[in-house]
Amino acid sequence: MFFICNNNGQVVGYGQIIFNRGFYTIVNLGILEEYRKHGYGELLVRYLIDLCYRNSIKTVYIRVEKNNLKALSLYTKIGFREYQSFISWYKKIN
C-alpha cells in the first residue's frame, strides 16, 4: 500500500506499508523539507496506523536510523518502542 499526504492538492509527503518476512512495516516515509515541523509526519504515520487497524493488522513496525533523533522522537511520541537494532555493513568496490 502506498499513500501520498497532501495539503489542498499539494503533495507534501508519502509513505508505504509492506508485508515482508512476516512483518507489516511502514517504509519509504517522508515529508518534503518545506513542510516539515508542521505536523504532517505525525498525521501521516497515524493515518498509516489507522489503516493497519482497519485491516485487522495488530502490530506494525517502522525502521529508523539510530541517529535520526527527530524521527525517533516522533515515533516514540506516537507509541512505537524499540524492537531490534540493525547493523549495516558496506563494501567499497574499486
CATH code of 69's domain: 3.40.630.30
Has residue 6 got a pLDDT over 90?
no
Looking at the structure of the chain, the number of domains it has is 1
In a domain, 91, yes or no: no
In a domain, 94, yes or no: no
Distance CA 14, CA 1 (A): 11
Tens digits of residue pLDDT in 13-30: 899 999 988 999 999 899
- Specify the DSSP class assigned to residue 30: E
Question: CA angle at residue 27 from 23 to 31, to 5 degrees?
Answer: 155
Has residue 10 got a pLDDT over 90?
no
State the amino acid at position 11 in one-letter form: V
Distance CA 55, CA 22 (A): 16
Q: Residue 12: its pLDDT value, please?
A: 87
Has residue 3 got a pLDDT over 70?
no
Q: What is the domain extent for residue 23?
A: 2-78
In a domain, 44, yes or no: yes
SS3 51: helix
In a domain, 89, yes or no: no
Q: Residue 5: its pLDDT value, please?
A: 67
